Structure 1
Amino acid sequence: MDSTIAQKTWELENNILAVEAPDPSSDFIFYYDEVAQAMSLKAKPWANDPHFFKRVKISALALLKMVIHARSGGTIEVMGLMIGKTDGDAIIVMDAFALPVEGTETRVNAQADAYEYMVDYSQTNKQAGRLENVVGWYHSHPGYGCWLSGIDVSTQMLNQQFQEPFLAVVIDPTRTVSSGKVDIGAFRTYPEGYKPTDDPISEYQTIPLNKIEDFGVHCKQYYALNISYFKSSLDCHLLDLLWNKYWVNTLSSSPLLGNGDYVAGQLSDLAEKLEQAENHLTHSRIGPLGTSRKKIPGRITSWLSKTSFSTRLDSQNRCLVRLSAKDEMITA
């Protein structure tokens, strides 16, 4: 598979729509209307309706930038900002840039130098003729899904108080590499003390056992927005140039090693969940079947633990063979 075919496949899997028309008005989405944006900021329709924003439109260029940045962090969380505008009940993300922040495997926080960089970047962007404003922030959740933790909720609430309109985007680079489709979510928080009248049905996703409590405590404090992607003739050239970097990183990385660690982690997490369920059944002892119920999950847990370990070793051995073959091909 060459670079062009891989790019087309990536666009199809993520349902990126091309803005096409017989005249130059097809690129109208890139036009920034200062008067309309100023009127929207003055009216502040989102202040009276917590559900005002329902859609997010992300350019393919911004999406690829965020994915490359998230993948570069590996198992460490990364953070960046998004630039764009609003259009009715939609937030349009035109571009994105990374922030120089120090993250861990569970959290990422911006310090003073990151805020200074953000201001300098925004000012330079406007001097270059890009009048769009910062409309949100993005960060990665390597391997544990797209949702907002307690710290994320607090950060987003603070930004919505002082920088509206503002959006939070979460990308899982590990699941993105595993599936080939970008695992992404866009969220906005409710005002403090607000309780939604209806509970929207969210898309099912597996949450690791050590994150379930954090997910469950704060899942009612925000809602997800529908995401769509677009590209146009104006950004096709830049998208092609950026794709070359993404494609090289894809070739130089080893999906077997990455997927092996991810699968082993999923099996280990499943084993812990089954063990927890086994303990609940042991303590409950419902009826005469309590003893027989206790034995089955224990066997499954033991098998999963062994499988998790063997999967990790097997994937690493295969990766070493693959990398050796790749080195021989390059040096030949």
Structure 2
Amino acid sequence: MASSSGIALKTFSLANDITQISPQDEIYKFDVEANKRLLRDAPWTKEPHYFKTCKISATALIKMVIHARSGVPYEIMGMMQGKVTGNSLVIIDSFALPVQGTETRVNAANEAYEYMVQYIQGSERVSRLENAVGWYHSHPGYGCWLSGIDVSTQLTNQKFQDPFVAVVIDPNRTISADAISSEYQSIPLSKIEDFGVHANQYYQLEVQIFKSSLDDELLGLLWNKYWVNTLSQSPLISNRAYAVSQLNDLHQKLAKAQSVVPSTRAPVPMVEKDKALMKKDDKKKDEVNQLTKSVRDANKIAIEAQHGLIAQVLKDIIFSMRPAVPIPGIETEGTTVAQAGDLVDTAMSIG
């Protein structure tokens, strides 16, 4: 695609990964004439990999994640407004489209396009100068990548608005119990055939999150309101539907791999010149690897469950501990500091 703008949004922490802009609000300034010149020159049409980063406002990101989470288990879609600064696409704001997709595709109907046009026209009337610079949608439970339908949608969008970036959000992975980021993605059996097939038609951009002084106030208000729920909720409970779907998908993968395992044998040692012959048997090799991938999926599910249990143990230690004060003749109930330390050691050894 001409400007080949596609990114996969990974899990991160707002508290740790926000890039402070100095001065903080400088990025929000919009130079109309400079923007017109840049759009007229369109350097991205001459260099497919012109864009290097995608900078997203913290407020816009929260809106997108909340929207994506509200649609689970279905896909959702929205638009992003912003500007181009150098070789960066800057996302200032986002808004949801009245679209609900199935588990296999998400398409904008005529009402969604009419809503989008009306929203952008309304933004212009109130002196919001940001352009429509991208769209976002969700992949609930199956990772951040572009499917064939997504690539087709992106190409259609770029015919009418260029540059244009695609953001994919996995709301289930975002709140999962997996505390360790990994490049490995567990793809459901129903999505495997489409996974990676169109990867050569887009490329991933570096994601940077920024906030303004007003965003500081907003994030502070949100934290003051929801910090109790944030600390008290368990990802094992709030995300249990996703965990069940993972186990169900693992069962299907193991059942499929079971038919291949009896016909496999240990590889015969070969010299270098004979290794070229193995390329002719790639399909067979992929079938054998089904069991290996299923083992990795099972290991990942177990690690996520362990992290969720560790989080619950630590919360219980921090918020439910009653230090024992020795009183003659009275047996003190509750967890002692020494017992709490033992629990922490046990939890860490599990992870």
TM (norm. structure 2) is: 0.67
**Which 10-residue stretch deviates more, 157-166 or 264-273?**
264-273
* 1:43-192 superposed matches below 5 A: 43-179=41-177
Q: Percent identity?
A: 56
SS at structure 1 position matched to 2:194: helix
Question: For this pair of structures, how many residues does the alignment match?
Answer: 266
Distance 1:269 1:78 in 2: 22
- The match for 1:217 is 197
Distance 1:248 1:121 in 2: 35
CA deviation after TM superposition for structure 1 residue 240, in Å: 4.2
Distance 1:287 1:56 in 2: 45
Distance 2:117 2:56 in 1: 22
What is the letter of the counterpart of residue 137 of structure 1?
A: W
SS at structure 1 position matched to 2:129: coil
- The match for 2:341 is none
Distance 1:251 1:120, change over 3 A: farther
Distance 2:62 2:267 in 1: 55
Distance 1:218 1:172, change over 3 A: same
CA deviation after TM superposition for structure 1 residue 275, in Å: 3.4
Q: 1:174 touches 1:258 (CA, 8 Å); kept in 2?
A: no
CA deviation after TM superposition for structure 1 residue 146, in Å: 0.5
- 2:14 is matched with which residue: 11, 14, 20? 11
Q: Which runs of 5+ in 2 are unaligned?
A: 1-11, 269-287, 310-351
CA deviation after TM superposition for structure 1 residue 26, in Å: 3.3
- The match for 1:283 is 263
What is the letter of the counterpart of residue 14 of structure 2?
A: E
Q: 1:10 touches 1:180 (CA, 8 Å); kept in 2?
A: no
Distance 1:63 1:245, change over 3 A: farther
Distance 2:25 2:178 in 1: 28
SS at structure 1 position matched to 2:166: strand
The CA RMSD over aligned residues, in Å, is 3.3
What is the letter of the counterpart of residue 268 of structure 1?
A: N
SS at structure 1 position matched to 2:239: helix
TM (norm. structure 1) is: 0.70
- The match for 1:326 is none
- The match for 1:319 is none
Distance 2:47 2:169 in 1: 27
* 1:208-247 superposed matches below 5 A: 208-241=188-221
CA deviation after TM superposition for structure 1 residue 58, in Å: 0.3
SS at structure 2 position matched to 1:157: helix
What is the letter of the counterpart of residue 255 of structure 2?
A: E
Q: 1:68 touches 1:246 (CA, 8 Å); kept in 2?
A: no
CA deviation after TM superposition for structure 1 residue 220, in Å: 2.2
SS at structure 2 position matched to 1:82: strand
Deviations along 1:290-326, one digit per CA (max 9) or x if unpaired, are xxxx9xx7xx99xx8xx99xx9xxx9xxxxxxxxxxx
Distance 1:171 1:179, change over 3 A: farther
Distance 1:126 1:108, change over 3 A: same
Distance 1:96 1:246, change over 3 A: farther
Distance 1:238 1:134 in 2: 24
Larger gyration radius, structure 1 or structure 2 = 2
Q: Which runs of 5+ in 1 are unaligned?
A: 1-8, 184-201, 289-293, 316-332
Q: 1:138 touches 1:170 (CA, 8 Å); kept in 2?
A: yes
Distance 1:69 1:36, change over 3 A: same
Distance 1:90 1:179, change over 3 A: farther
Distance 1:252 1:109, change over 3 A: farther
CA deviation after TM superposition for structure 1 residue 205, in Å: 2.0
Distance 1:287 1:74, change over 3 A: closer
Distance 1:78 1:287, change over 3 A: closer
Distance 1:75 1:165, change over 3 A: same
Residues 1:42 and 2:40 aligned together: yes
Distance 1:287 1:241, change over 3 A: closer
